[in-house]
Structure formats: C-alpha cells, structure tokens
Amino acid sequence: MGPPATEPSDDPRVKSRPSWARLPFGGIPQGLVTMRTLYIGHLAETHCYAAEAGAEAAPPEGMAWQGLRTLYSVLDDAHFALAGRALQLIDWDRNHQYCGRCGTPTQAKAEERVRICPACRLTAYPKLSPAVMALVRRDRQLLLARSPHFPPGMYSALAGFVEPGETLEQCLAREVFEEVGVKVRNPRYFASQPWPFPNSLMLAFFCDYESGEIRPQEAEIEAADWFDVFQLPKLPSKISIARRLIDAAVADMRTAQPG
C-alpha cells in the first residue's frame, strides 16, 4: 500500500477524496522490467519513484495498468498529484535523450532535474506550458463553449495557452476575444491545476462581461452561449479545474439570486 496521504487541504475550492487504490510500496514489483526510473520526490516522509515499463509489459501479479484519468476516482489528491508528476517527468526524460541542437546523447545530473548535452552544453529542463482558463459572468449567466472534440452536449469555460511576452491577464482577454468575440474586464484569480496531458499548468480565472456579441471562432469553437446558472448544460468531469471553477461560480451566483 502506498504511503498515507497528506492532510486534506483547508481551501474550500479543493475537494479531498479518499484513496482506495493499492500502489507498489517498497520497490519495483518483482518480475517487472523497467525501461527507466526517476526519483520524483517524497510523500509523507516516503521517497517516491516513477518507473516506465515497455508497452507490452504485463502488470505485476495482483495489479493492473490504469490510465491517469481513471485514477482520479480512486486516488486521494496527494497520490493523484504524485501520479501526474510521475507521468510528466517520465515523458520529459524520454523525449530528451538526445540534444535538440546537435543530436548528441544527453546526460542526467544527479543533484538537479536536468538533462545536459556534453558536446554543446545545451540544457533541457522539464517543460511546463501555462494556459489560462476564463469563466465569463454576466448577471446570473455564464458564458460556456464547446470544442469539436468535446463529448456530445458538453460545455466548458474558455481556455488557451499563454504566448511569449504575455501576462496572464493579457492572455485571458485575448483568448476570450479570439474564441467568442467578447470583451471582458475584472479578471479574478481562482486556482491552478497541473494538467499532465502532457505538461500544462492551468490557471483559472473569473471575469466579467464588458461588451460584444458571441461569435464562435471557426474550427476552434463548435458552439458558445450564455447559460443561466439554474439551467446549465452537461459540464466537464470533476477531474478538471474547469468543473471546480464552474461549480464555485454557480454556488456563488445561486446564493446571490432570489428564488
């Protein structure tokens, strides 16, 4: 069994979940051949490692391979975050075995999380791609949109990656205007979430409608509309910060509205 989870967060925006999944504890399970292992930190004073097995490797006896999204419903917050970190670091290490500049095999540095080219000294650190999520509010309505790849009927908040030279606030305003043609004001930070699919960091904001009519961006946005907080469409899974952002807004707005 894995080490016990850390204490639950006292932040009301973060929901804690019990953990009933059994994790390898005490070393690599017997019989499992790994392609690489990485130290990823510690949890509850226990050192933790990530291990990558081959695509055809059979799981150890009594265990089963599970995708990270599936683990959300069976791991507590601390273990799920650890699993996400493991996935990101294994992906980074696998993709930086060779120098991106000269092609020389890279080397790990024991005291630092980095891969270094011994020939040209180019360094490769784990990559993070910041993205801003914006939930636009107007009276008792929320502006929600759907991308073509969403499950049928599902809507979510708007989001996009931060471009070089942008602040988070500039990214928010640009993405909302590009995706739905609406101008917004008063951005308010809500929370952040590592999103290891493969290496994003989502930063979620509330903001208020200022002006404009909805004009969905062709090819990016399949549909967008204003939804009353008492008549919402199908929403994202609770694994995502989008759902927590929407749920927080709905709770606040329903409380503020009579009836």
> Per residue in 209-247, pLDDT tens?
999 999 999 999 999 999 999 999 999 998 899 999 999
Tens of pLDDT, residue by residue over 101-137, are 999 999 999 889 999 999 999 999 999 999 999 999 9
Q: How confident is the chain (259 residues) per 10-residue block, as mean pLDDT?
A: 33 40 66 87 88 87 84 83 92 96 96 96 97 98 97 97 98 99 98 92 99 96 98 94 97 80
Question: Are 226 and 165 found together in one domain?
Answer: yes
How many structural domains is the chain composed of?
A: 3
Residue 98, classified by CB atoms within 10 Å of its CB into exposed (0-12), middle (13-18) or buried (19+), is middle
End-to-end CA distance of the chain: 48
Whole domain around residue 17: which residue ranges?
1-94
CATH number at residue 242: 3.90.79.10
Q: Which pLDDT belongs to residue 163?
A: 98
* 247 plus 163 within the same structural domain: yes
For residue 60, what pLDDT is reported?
82
Q: Which of 78, 104, 126 lies at the terminal end of a domain, its last residue?
A: 126
**Are 118 and 212 in the same domain?**
no
Are 62 and 172 within one domain? no
Residues 6+ apart with CB under 8 A from 257: 140, 229
- Whether 179 and 245 share a structural domain: yes
Here the contacts of 232-236 (C-beta below 8 Å, separation 24 or greater) are 232/142, 232/144, 233/144, 233/153, 233/154, 233/155, 234/151, 234/153, 234/154, 234/155, 235/154, 235/155, 235/156, 236/154, 236/156
Q: Which residues make beta-bridge pairs with 227?
A: 142
Give the pLDDT score at 26. Answer: 65
Q: Which amino acid is at 238?
A: K
In degrees, to the nearest 5, what angle opens at C-alpha 153 toward C-alphas 151 and 155?
A: 85
Q: State the pLDDT at residue 22.
A: 54
pLDDT at 7: 35
- What per-residue confidence (pLDDT) applies to 23? 60
Amino acid 13: pLDDT = 34
Measure the CA–CA gap between 126 and 42, rounded to whole angstroms.
Answer: 18
Among positive and negative, which fits the CA dihedral 142, 211, 188, 126? positive
**Residues 234, 145 share a domain:** yes
79 and 111 belong to one structural domain: no
